[in-house]
Amino acid sequence: MVVPTIVVIGGSFAGTKTAIRLDASLKSKADIILIEERDALYFTVGAPRSISEPGFAEHLWIPYDKLFTNNPQRSRVIKARAVQISPHEVKLSSGESVAFDYAVIATGAKVPAPGQPSKPSKAEGIAEANEILAAITKAKTVTVIGGGVVGIETAAEIATDYPEKKVTIIHSGASLAHKESLSARALLLVNQQLAALGVTVKLNTRAVAQNGSILPNGASYNLSPLSISISTGESIDSDVQFVCTGIAQPNSQFARSLGDDIIDKDGYIEVERTGQVKGFKNIFALGDVSNLDAAKLAYCTFAQSTLVGDNIASLIETPEKALKVYTSFKIGSFAAMSVGRNGGILQTPIGTFGSWATKSMRSKDFRIGQNWKDMNLVSTYKMQISTLFSVLAAGVSVASAVKCQPRYSAPAVSTAATTTAIPTTTTTTTTTTTTTTTTTAAVAAVTTDDVVVAPVSTTDSGSDSPPPAPQTQVDAPAPAPQSQVDVATTTTTTAAAPPASADPCADLFAIAGGFASSNDATAALALHNQVRAYVGSYLGSPLSPLTWSSSLAAQALIDVDYSINAEGCSGLSHDPVFGPAFAKSLGFGSFIDAITSFIEYDDGNGSECSQYFYQGVTDCHFCFMVSAAYSNVACAVDTCPSTGLYGNNVVGCDYS
């Protein structure tokens, strides 16, 4: 029996996934040859972190050593580049010719560095990444030209690991990632997270080419000081610059030997819905080099590799059987993007999720371990400790450490150092609010054409006080920035003596009514502590004041995002998916209005205050505020994708 030979040209995601599929299904029924110029698979998805985290680059090169586990004696990898292909033979850059019965073209497209290394060897690729990383370490300013996925991820990785550097994105579109079919909510989350990282975003702005290119000699990055002219007439000076403007020309030139008519006007190889190259039954193409109507993203090649692998196996084993056809994957309903190691967005048909979901699926390590496993190997990568914990381990105070983290919280609240033990349980309360302004959200929505975000400095008090929210300056019209108010130690927060009233809830309503509507964290903390002081005094059992917690501020936004996606913006519930202490209630515009509603919320049987004041109940909105079990609080606000029954904002407060 003659064993057919299958050549797979290209050893990136599409090629390796197809080769693995064929090896698993055909085993010894076919000889499989992978042809690839690089000496290992380069994991392009993780490229942005290779220029910010020392040592990360080496883990992006995944060897082909165990690619073929079912027929290792006859299947092999040839390190070479295809230069010409005919219906049954491919010629290589080494001068060798390889005959085949079936061929798979998976040569992808050339992506400029740092998206892909400019050299084909692992050693050269790692050296290039380390050279860029060294330049970034020394730089004070970085400019990223292009606000698509690669540009956003590159800027965010640098801003996360080096928060002291000024990072600017220049993007020609009216919104970031405008070609990626992201939902309005996904864009909002991306903008919020970039703002929290202190990244400057210039929209509707183009870099002006000089002598035919943006950077000297047409390079995709430059590691020395340079002034870039932009379409507004200004110039941007920076120490390091990157051009991240999308995928370059598909690597299809060698396939023109099959006929010019198989290459479309954009350079893609034309294929049938079966994955077969038009006019050829035994040659297939997939991934970034094919014109199949699929997004040019790594995870979109997996369905194609399954299709092509199964169809070739079918032609060999059951040639009479009809081939499978590709069903378009609507990328507009699914997208994943990291925004630094702690943030990102996950857009799905059932909703868009923020950092909490994306971190586990993508941001924390770009799924390096899983991709090594897919290549039948074990990764040695150990995730870098979160910046916050690494600086703490080095003896840096919390107030300084939080500057290294995404800043999602309300304006700064400085508190004195405390040593209060924090219980392990965390309680979350959210409230849906109606708002009439676009600038008072605790997490600034960056939706204008030109936005400059600069973090505000904070005093290093050594406490777990929240970092300052970034001030958002909009070219036109410019809203007045929220004032930054420092709060003295929480131990000095007291309430006036209880009014002479037989109704303590009425007294609490009066206390809350004395606060103006505001998203100011200072006021939010003060209202909590005045309520606690009153209740403790009334019951003759003093309650210690709460402290604003920066770590809870980040968690509060995560919980608010989860609430929005799980429950929407209408209705009230105590949903067990959030844990026994999570609640969603009514508010009317801000942190203060939301907290007031925690006291006043009436479920038809009276306010929670009136129902539970004397009964020691712990699972209610009001109960969280006055529980002796908690010593920390933080609040956050986010926007629903559409207006619900009670408005389109959700405010949440976490307690611990």
pLDDT of residue 164: 95
71 located within any domain: no
Mode of pairing for the β-strands spanning 82-86 and 41-42: unpaired
For residues 296-309, average pLDDT = 80
pLDDT of residue 539: 79
User: Which has more pLDDT, 656 or 472?
Assistant: 656
pLDDT of residue 427: 42
Mode of pairing for the β-strands spanning 31-36 and 632-644: unpaired
Least confident piece of the model among 8-17, 107-116, 187-196, 310-319? 107-116
Residue 466 has pLDDT above 70, yes or no: no
User: Which has more pLDDT, 21 or 408?
Assistant: 21
pLDDT of residue 604: 52
Calpha distance 263→289 (Å, rounded): 10
| Whether residue 585 is found in the same domain as residue 547 | yes
User: Which has more pLDDT, 277 or 428?
Assistant: 277
pLDDT of residue 99: 98
List, for residues 207-246, the tens digit of each pLDDT value. Answer: 998 888 899 988 999 999 999 999 999 999 999 999 998 6
| Whether residue 201 is found in the same domain as residue 265 | no
Is 638 buried (19+), middle (13-18) or exposed (0-12) by CB count in 10 A? buried
Contact between 107 and 36 (Cβ < 8 Å): no
List, for residues 148-179, the tens digit of each pLDDT value. Answer: 999 999 999 999 999 999 999 999 999 998 77
Q: What tokens does 282 get?
A: 């035994």
| Whether residue 489 is found in the same domain as residue 622 | yes
Least confident piece of the model among 39-53, 83-97, 282-296, 383-397? 383-397
Amino acid at site 351: G
Is 76 buried (19+), middle (13-18) or exposed (0-12) by CB count in 10 A? middle
For residues 623-645, average pLDDT = 72
User: Which has more pLDDT, 73 or 105?
Assistant: 105
64 located within any domain: no
Residue 637 has pLDDT above 70, yes or no: yes
CATH of the domain at 31: 3.50.50.60
pLDDT of residue 624: 79
Calpha distance 113→219 (Å, rounded): 9
Residue 428 has pLDDT above 50, yes or no: no
376 located within any domain: no
| Whether residue 494 is found in the same domain as residue 543 | yes
Calpha distance 355→366 (Å, rounded): 14
CATH of the domain at 541: 3.40.33.10
Query: Per mean pLDDT, which of 174-178, 200-204, 438-442 is the most reliable?
Result: 200-204
Least confident piece of the model among 172-176, 517-521, 526-530, 627-631? 517-521
Contact between 473 and 452 (Cβ < 8 Å): yes
Confidence of residue 75 (pLDDT cuts 50, 70, 90): very high
Number of domains within the chain = 3
272 located within any domain: yes
List, for residues 498-513, the tens digit of each pLDDT value. Answer: 444 567 777 887 787 7
pLDDT of residue 611: 65
Closest by CA position to 116, among listed 14, 36, 47, 41: 47
| Whether residue 154 is found in the same domain as residue 291 | no
- Contact residues for 155 (Cβ-Cβ < 8 A; gap 6+): 142, 144, 167, 168, 169, 194, 199
Dump the DSSP string for 469-534.
PPEEEESSS-PPPPPP-----GGG---PPPPS-S-HHHHHHHHHHTSPS---HHHHHHHHHHHHHH
- Mean pLDDT, the chain, rounded, equals 74
Query: Per mean pLDDT, which of 253-262, 328-337, 480-489, 596-605 is the most reliable?
Result: 253-262
For residues 428-453, average pLDDT = 31
pTM across the whole model: 0.60
| Whether residue 280 is found in the same domain as residue 227 | no
pLDDT of residue 186: 86
Q: What tokens does 134 get?
A: 């060294």
Could you give the angle at the alpha carbon of 638 between the alpha carbons of 632 and 641, nearest 5°? 155
Confidence of residue 247 (pLDDT cuts 50, 70, 90): low
For residues 189-201, average pLDDT = 92
What proportion of the chain, given as a percentage, has pLDDT over 90?
40
| Whether residue 419 is found in the same domain as residue 503 | yes
Contact between 221 and 132 (Cβ < 8 Å): yes
130 located within any domain: no
Domain that holds residue 595: 409-655
Calpha distance 619→640 (Å, rounded): 25
523 located within any domain: yes
pLDDT of residue 218: 87
- Give the end of a domain, one of 302, 322, 342: 322
Closest by CA position to 82, among listed 11, 148, 1, 161: 11
pLDDT of residue 207: 94
Confidence of residue 253 (pLDDT cuts 50, 70, 90): very high
583 located within any domain: yes
Residue 353, H or E segment: strand 351-353
For residues 488-500, average pLDDT = 39
pLDDT of residue 226: 96
pLDDT of residue 617: 58
Residues in the chain: 656
| Whether residue 317 is found in the same domain as residue 448 | no
Task: To the nearest 10°, report the CA torsion of 123, 129, 131, 136.
Answer: -170
Residue 405 has pLDDT above 60, yes or no: no
For residues 513-531, average pLDDT = 82
| Whether residue 306 is found in the same domain as residue 345 | no
93 located within any domain: yes
| Whether residue 278 is found in the same domain as residue 199 | no
| Whether residue 354 is found in the same domain as residue 490 | no
Dump the DSSP string for 146-169.
--SHHHHHHHHHHHHH-TTSEEEE
Confidence of residue 119 (pLDDT cuts 50, 70, 90): confident
pLDDT of residue 401: 27
pLDDT of residue 211: 82
| Whether residue 453 is found in the same domain as residue 499 | yes
pLDDT of residue 392: 28
Confidence of residue 16 (pLDDT cuts 50, 70, 90): very high
Residue 348, H or E segment: strand 344-348
Q: What tokens does 574 get?
A: 């105590």
Calpha distance 75→73 (Å, rounded): 6
Helix axes of 301-317 and 13-26: crossing angle, nearest 10 degrees: 30
